[in-house]
Amino acid sequence: MIKKMIQYQFLFEELVKRDFKQKYKRTVLGVGWSLLSPLLMLLVMRMMLVGFFGRDTPHYTTYLFSGTLVFGFFSEATKRGMGSLRGNAGIFSMATVPKYLFLLSRNVQALINFLLTLVIYFLLAAFDGITFTWRVVCLIYPICCLTLFNIGIGMVLSALFIFFRDTQYLYDVFLRMLTYLSAIFYTIDRFSPLGQNLFLLNPIYLFIRYFRKIVIEATVPTIWFHLLMAADVVIALGMGCFMYKKYNTKFLYYI
């Protein structure tokens, strides 16, 4: 895979540039929308939810932003990745190129947007009274894991979207459900021990929880927590690679 990435480096760079330009084409603020959108969402959610869920939650603004930041990255990367094959069918139907390049280019753009928003996240956390420690460096691990997880899920979705057009509508419903199952705006303290453990089955909750542990609680999660996240990444990438390998020659017949 690395060898092919080097071989098609020029194409990959052009795909990233094209996707980046297409997203912000004819916009006044350009890339500024990547920063403004999550901030507006955070503002609205905080105004509506602080009275219900934020009364007993320390640093609720940072708590809420941690959830929206991680979930937003996952949502954008996977939704854009879902249309990567169908959106570039005109290219790979005429030339033999690795199809995962189209997916990776979409994920690179989502990662850039996430990193830009991450800067705002740190600034607001400091304004919220958060004291940063050396442990903030540990955020590199969940960011890398989440990026790979997004790629794996994106591969599955992009393959399914080729065969089933309803995938995009079903995934929108799934994301709405996942929003409420990821403890973005509430804590899980009121759930039973069994209920709290069930949240660990949600990979997105793991990534969100990792951010909160590091930034708000200034503690590093346990080894098993790291291993659980790594297992989710391996499963997602395994499923994605399986889909691409099995149906690679069939994509052309359904575009």
83-119: pLDDT as tens digits: 887 877 676 666 667 777 888 888 998 998 899 899 8
The pair phi, psi for residue 29, each rounded to 5°, is -85, -15
Q: What pLDDT, on a 0 to 100 scale, did the predictor assign at position 185?
A: 87
Query: Does residue 62 contact residue 207 with C-beta atoms inside 8 Å?
Result: no
* Torsion 151-152-153-154 (CA) sign: positive
224-227 long-range CB contacts below 8 Å, 24 or more apart? 226/141
- Cβ-based neighbours of 144, under 8 Å, separated by 6 or more: none
Q: Helix or strand or coil: residue 26?
A: coil
Residue-wise pLDDT for 202-233, tens only, equals 999 999 999 999 999 999 999 999 999 999 99
Domain limits for position 25: 2-253
Predicted pLDDT at 5:
60
- 252 vs 80, higher pLDDT: 80
Among positive and negative, which fits the CA dihedral 240, 246, 252, 255? Answer: negative
Tell me the pTM.
Answer: 0.88
Residue 154 vs residue 96, higher pLDDT? 154
Domain count, the chain: 1
